Amino acid sequence: MHKKAASLALGLVFSSWLLTAAAAPGPVLPVGAVQAVSIQGQQLRLRTEHAQVEITPYSPTVLRVRIARQALGPDHSYAVVAKPQAAGASISQDAQEIVIRTSGYTARIARQPFAVAVYSPDGKLINRDEPGLGSSWIGEEVATYKSLQEGERFLGLGEKGGSLDRRGSAYSNWNTDAFRYTNETDPLYATIPFYIGVHHGLAYGLFFDNSYRSDFNFGASNRRFASFSAQGGEMDYYLITDPDVAGILRSYTWLTGRMPLPPLWSLGYQQNRYSYMSETDVMRVAHTLREKRIPADGITLDIHYMDQYKVFTWDRQRFPDPAGMAQRLAALGLKLTVIVDPGVKQESGYASFERGLAKDVYVKYPDGSPYSGEVWPGWCFFPDFTAAKGRAWWANEVGAYARAGVAGLWNDMNEISTWGQAMPNNLLFDFDGQPTTHRQARNVYALNMTRASYEGMKAATGQRPFLLTRSGFAGTQRYSALWTGDNTASDSHMLLGVRLLNSLGLSGLAFTGMDIGGFIGSPSQGLYARWMQLGAFTPYFRNHSGYDTKAAEPWTFGEDVLNNVRSYINLRYRLLPYLYAAFHEASSSGLPVMRSLAIDYTHDAHVYARDFENQYLFGPSLLVAPFESTARFGKLYLPAGAWYDFYTDAAHAGGREQLLELAPTRLPVFVKAGAIIPMQSQIQSTAEQPAPTLVLHLYRGEQASSFRYYEDDGSSFAYEQGGYYARSIGMDPARRQISFGAVEGRYDSRFTRVELVLHGFGAAPRLQRDGQELAVTAGSAAMLGEDQPERAAVARVVIDHPRTAFSITY
């Protein structure tokens, strides 16, 4: 054959092989081209070469995408509680694409091959599938690849170490007992598969609703894509569009639920140790708190209160009268919280174990025998909390705690943790009528445990329960606060804890905390003091330490540390009206109590810098700047606007970096100009009524500002039926006016008068109400108490506050 002819023949053979290879499924199976389109109302259903696809405009700002290799399964989720809203969507199509338009986004679905791209209403690209990659399978693993935008930042993903900006990192989600974890440890205890992307002045949220082990890659080891994948199940995600991060969090918590208001006492200081070994120990600590005038609202018992670590039991030698002890604590203004673990000891005659057997609630192997794993009590069975009967049995059991006067349940070891940390994957779970294995059930186990605990305590008391959990999944905020597990007494862990709490706040969990002082090891005096100062500005304020460490009650570090720590606990209690309003905002809008600066200053590059990423807002107006306990100078960045030093009222211009001299007795805190901060008189617990005057600190600013003040009884669910007191308070510098809106709700405020404390208004501003001059006095404000050497010069005036609207001019 002629060489040219031979070459041509060889080329044709090679081309034919390429075409055949391209058509045949390979080790990576793509969704492929769209072959059929069905529009049912506002829902789009597609059949592609290798998949079934369902795309739903879930609301005007939320788009849901479901992809399965075979038929789509039942629409079941433990995370999502919202139903689709009327999105006002229009759907059109041509030969190249299908287009969905709402008021919040335009989604373009390409046909050849299938791909999704989402744009803002004015045509800017928000998020798109990476061309050539899109969504695909490798075996059972399903993945979606999104184009990595220039300069894109990634926030959230729940309980993850590392930096505020996740760009360049990869993470796995598999709830893990991560004892003595570090900044690099991954995964940790909880799974929140939700992140926020920020680029080109835009932001979006992406929630991947899949409880199998999942992986997220934000440009790690590549510069082409950000991806998310799961080891099984469907590709099921929600893309949330909004101009700002706050709006994204509102939509995400609309999807997955918001926390009910916690009981007021749970916002007070909580004292814990692993372990208080007897009732005598507990009452000694309780009386010492009161004798030393350390405000507190709770004492928590670790596993040694139980009979041989068996859940739902008491060691009657150490704790002979639990109900009586709870009553004696209540007389001191203290509530009792106890730990509960999911492992139920396999022991004949143990009542709870026997009732569980009778109700058939335990996780099983495929052959029908219950799974037994070893943990604190020995060999245990584990309730299947994904089954309605398992949750009902547990809820009934925890009711006994409520009847004994226990007010809070601390849900621990619920990753599930067992010795060996290798629970078999072939274990069977009910999954509410959709039977599955450990592979899909593990990450939602703790969520359903806290659900059962919450429902049991609520049914037994009729009051708001307090729940704490170590592990969880998206939606855990509906039932429980979350703390960050077994941390270490070090400066690095203190600052890591701040980042973890900020990230959890960016992921829908507003009620969070860490073991103040560190659980593993003993802190120095300086570290303990700094950590306790910070603790006063975290949502859940619990001091906790391990059994083999130095005792860590505030009086154990010497008189100087005690005085400093007590001043910050005192401040926490005076700030409770401000803090409670922030919790109400979280319960109604999803905005966290502890707020990364990325929420309010999303597109300011400084807030992501390593020097400033730990800074955060506590509520809407107090900026906290954490530093190592040994640091004597630190770099501070105050975002744009004017700021006040919280202690002295010294003015600071925002939008610039500055070097701050640090004092071991003073946590750097700054107040946003325009802030409205309600405070109350000093109390020793929330069981004590404050003085009848609400102290309202007003910080003069150049922009109009407002604050929604909120009260209720702090314990019941009456607020859900209008049993609350709320009013909007505003400052308008253009009109030189302080306004009080009409009261909403039926509850009567516990405060009969309001004292206005005016910061930045001068020593004697002229104030009028309804044309009448108000009596203004010059004074000072000592935020840390009367021993504070430097004080802010302020003006004060006391007024009554009727339920009707009124205003004051200045």
**pLDDT, tens digit, for every residue of 669-686?**
999 999 999 999 999 999
Share of the chain above pLDDT 70, in %: 97
Neighbours of 238 (CB within 10 A): 25
24 is written with which tokens? 């045949």
pLDDT for 16 equals 34
Task: Place 607 in a pLDDT band, splitting at 50, 70 and 90.
Answer: very high
The amino acid sitting at 25 is: P
The amino acid sitting at 562 is: L
Task: Place 456 in a pLDDT band, splitting at 50, 70 and 90.
Answer: very high
The domains of the chain, with CATH numbers, are: 29-256 (2.60.40.1760), 271-343+385-589 (3.20.20.80), 594-672 (2.60.40.1180), 676-809 (2.60.40.1180)
Residue 714 is given by DSSP the state S
Asked whether the CA dihedral 781, 648, 267, 337 is positive or negative, the reply is: negative
Q: 674's torsion region: left (phi>0), alpha (psi -120 to 50) or beta?
A: left
- Write the CA distances from 588 to 241, 584, 585, integer angstroms: 20, 6, 5
pLDDT for 619 equals 98
**pLDDT, tens digit, for every residue of 394-452?**
999 999 999 999 999 999 999 999 999 999 999 999 999 999 999 999 999 999 999 99
Task: Place 584 in a pLDDT band, splitting at 50, 70 and 90.
Answer: very high
Query: What secondary structure does DSSP assign to 98-159, as a single string?
Result: EEEE-SS-EEEEETTTTEEEEE-TTS-EEEEBPTTTSEEEETTEEEEEEE--TT-EEEE-SS
pLDDT for 788 equals 84
Return the SS3 of 810.
coil
**pLDDT, tens digit, for every residue of 495-535?**
999 999 999 999 999 999 999 999 999 999 999 999 999 99
Share of the chain above pLDDT 90, in %: 95
Catalytic residue check, 412: yes
Q: What is the mean pLDDT of residues 320-337?
A: 98
Is residue 8 pLDDT above 90, yes or no?
A: no
Return the SS3 of 586.
helix
Residue where the block lists tokens 């510069």: 223
Task: Place 25 in a pLDDT band, splitting at 50, 70 and 90.
Answer: low
228 is written with which tokens? 């998310």
- Write the CA distances from 769 to 731, 740, 808, integer angstroms: 14, 12, 5
Query: What secondary structure does DSSP assign to 179-200, as a single string?
Result: TT--TT--S-SEE--EEEEEET
Is residue 318 pLDDT above 60, yes or no?
A: yes
Task: Place 603 in a pLDDT band, splitting at 50, 70 and 90.
Answer: very high
pLDDT for 787 equals 80
Q: What is the mean pLDDT of residues 780-798?
A: 91
Residue 37 contacts by C-beta under 8 Å, 6 or more apart in sequence? 44, 45, 46, 93, 98
Cα–Cα distance, 35 to 109 (Å, whole number)? 13
Question: Which member of 129, 159, 186, 412 is catalytic?
Answer: 412
Cα–Cα distance, 249 to 242 (Å, whole number)? 9
**pLDDT, tens digit, for every residue of 551-582?**
999 999 999 999 999 999 999 999 999 999 99
Whether 194 and 158 have beta carbons less than 8 Å apart is answered as yes
Cα 152 to chain centroid, rounded: 23
Query: What secondary structure does DSSP assign to 393-452, as a single string?
Result: HHHHHHHHHHHTT--EEEE-STTT--TTS---TT-EE-TTTS-EEHHHHHHHHHHHHHHH
264 is written with which tokens? 């007021």
Is residue 194 pLDDT above 80, yes or no?
A: yes
**pLDDT, tens digit, for every residue of 226-263?**
999 999 999 999 999 999 999 999 999 999 999 999 99
Question: Which member of 234, 279, 415, 613 is catalytic?
Answer: 415
Is the N-terminal amide bond of 416 cis, ω within 30° of 0? Answer: yes
**Mean pLDDT across the chain:** 96
Cα–Cα distance, 434 to 179 (Å, whole number)? 33
Task: Place 789 in a pLDDT band, splitting at 50, 70 and 90.
Answer: confident
Neighbours of 574 (CB within 10 A): 21
Cα–Cα distance, 92 to 39 (Å, whole number)? 10
Cα 564 to chain centroid, rounded: 29
Whether 441 and 191 have beta carbons less than 8 Å apart is answered as no
Is residue 464 pLDDT above 60, yes or no?
A: yes
Residue 638 is given by DSSP the state E
Task: Place 11 in a pLDDT band, splitting at 50, 70 and 90.
Answer: very low
**pLDDT, tens digit, for every residue of 268-304?**
999 999 999 999 999 999 999 999 999 999 999 999 9
474 is written with which tokens? 């998206």
pLDDT for 786 equals 80
Whether 702 and 764 have beta carbons less than 8 Å apart is answered as no
pLDDT for 9 equals 36
What number of helices (H) and strands (E) belong to the chain? 12, 54
pLDDT for 20 equals 33
Is the N-terminal amide bond of 262 cis, ω within 30° of 0? Answer: no
User: By C-alpha distance, which of 205, 252, 215 is closest to 79?
Assistant: 252
Question: Which member of 341, 455, 486, 553 is catalytic?
Answer: 486
Beta bridge partners of 792: 781
pLDDT for 785 equals 87
Q: How many CA atoms lie within 13 A of 410 on its CB side?
A: 24
Neighbours of 348 (CB within 10 A): 7
Q: How many CA atoms lie within 13 A of 467 on its CB side?
A: 33
Cα–Cα distance, 464 to 408 (Å, whole number)? 10
Q: What is the mean pLDDT of residues 211-238?
A: 98
Whether 252 and 240 have beta carbons less than 8 Å apart is answered as yes
Helix H or strand E encompassing 335: strand 335-340
Whether 206 and 251 have beta carbons less than 8 Å apart is answered as no
pLDDT for 279 equals 98
